[in-house]
Amino acid sequence: MKDVKIGNLTPGKRPLIVVPLTDADVKSISDVRPASMIELRIDMFSELSKDHIITILTETKTKFNVPIIATCRAFEEGGAVKIKDSSRIEIYSAAAQYADAIDVELNTGIFHDVLDIANHRKIPLIASFHDFTKTPPLHVLESLLEKSKNAGADIMKIALMANTTDDIRLLTNFTIEYCDSGIVCIAMGAIGMASRVFFPLIGSLFTFASLETTTAPGQISLHEMAKFYDF
């Protein structure tokens, strides 16, 4: 894996915690420590105008002084609202001016448009895939990783629902096998909660924890997560 920098951080050097925030969270929260990064969930913003997005991004940078991942999640993969593709491209274009990385779904029709935006701004692109119902077989995960590499993504993020302990074993083996490929692996749901702590210790580049906003089933609170790492 080539070194990828998100702001002043190089994922993979140590376990990193990302905390998802909305615009309301940015206004109400005074501190995100010990989180390493912020994910701004623009699809969950109260307003999607360019001016509002830029205002929140600049306020987030000034207030918290940690790297920002910006995403506007597609409704089909867990987004809060349905947003037209053309509007999402405009949102990503605005966000990329101030974000340190952007995250877009690997299988979305606007993937290459967002990749062009990231490349133009010289920031990393995270290609993501979410399945809130199941964990697909290993060959599907491998094909997703290969697709993301071929497409030009810097990091592949896979978030899947773990329904059995076999799902956890599969995702554990996948994370270990491909830990040098620039992956983030997340097992959602109650069965997957422990994996949110130990996957970064076996090769997943970062994990997610909640402050005010929980964006996936089984997400652990930031302060509970921080107990497992020495910051």
pLDDT digits (tens, 9 = 90+) for 47-79: 999 999 999 999 999 999 999 999 999 999 988
Return the pLDDT at 230. Answer: 64
Find the catalytic residue in 5, 84, 120, 157.
157
Q: What is the pTM of this model?
A: 0.92
Beta-strand (E) ranges in the chain? 17-21, 37-41, 68-71, 101-105, 125-131, 155-161, 183-188, 207-210, 220-221
130 included as an active-site residue = yes
CA dihedral 225, 206, 39, 216 (to 10 degrees): -60
| pLDDT for res 212 | 61
> Distance (Å, rounded) from C-alpha 218 to C-alpha 216?
6
pLDDT value of residue 147: 97
For the chain, how many structural domains are there in total?
1
If you average pLDDT over every residue of the chain, what do you get?
Answer: 92
DSSP code of residue 178: T
Q: Please give the pLDDT value at position 82.
A: 94
Please write down the long-range contacts of 141-144, taking CB distance under 8 Å and 24 or more positions apart: 141/174, 142/174, 142/178, 144/106
Residue 46 to residue 54: CA distance in whole angstroms: 13
Within a domain: residue 179? no
The three-state secondary structure class of 21 is: strand
Q: What is the pLDDT of residue 79?
A: 86
Residue with tokens 């998100």: 6
Q: Is residue 174 part of a domain?
A: no
Could you tell me if residue 25 is inside a domain?
A: yes
122 is catalytic: no
Per-residue confidence band for 218, with pLDDT thresholds at 50, 70 and 90: low
pLDDT above 80 (res 126): yes
The token duo for 164 is 């059995």
pLDDT over 90 at 1, yes or no: no
Q: Return the percentage of the chain with pLDDT > 90, whole number.
A: 81
Print the domain residue range for 47.
17-128+193-226
Whether residue 23 contacts residue 45, with contact meaning beta carbons closer than 8 Å, is answered with yes
Whether the predicted pLDDT of 231 surpasses 60: no
40: CATH: 3.20.20.70
Residue 136 maps to a domain = no
> How many Å from the N-terminal Cα to the C-terminal Cα in the chain?
25
- Write down the H helix ranges in the chain: 23-28, 50-64, 85-95, 111-121, 138-151, 165-177, 195-198, 222-226
Residue 177: CB atoms within 10 A of its CB come to: 15
pLDDT, position 101: 98
CA 203 to chain centre: 15
CA angle 187, 189, 190 (to 5 degrees): 115
- What percent of the chain clears pLDDT 70, i.e. is strictly above it? 95
Does some domain include residue 124? yes
Please tell me which residue in 13, 82, 130, 139 is annotated as part of the active site. 130
163 lies in some domain: no
The per-residue pLDDT for range 20-45, each reduced to its tens digit, is 999 999 999 999 988 999 999 999 99
Query: Is 213 part of a structural domain of the chain?
Result: yes
Find the angle CA(160)-CA(165)-CA(170) to the nearest 5 degrees.
Answer: 60
In order of 127, 140, 159, the CA distances from 79 in angstroms are 15, 23, 14
For the chain, give me the number of helices (H) and strands (E)?
Answer: 8, 9
- What pLDDT digit, counting tens, does each position of 149-167 carry? 999 999 999 999 999 999 9
Nearest to 124 by CA among 41, 1, 229: 1
* Backbone torsions φ then ψ of 122, nearest 5 degrees: 60, 45
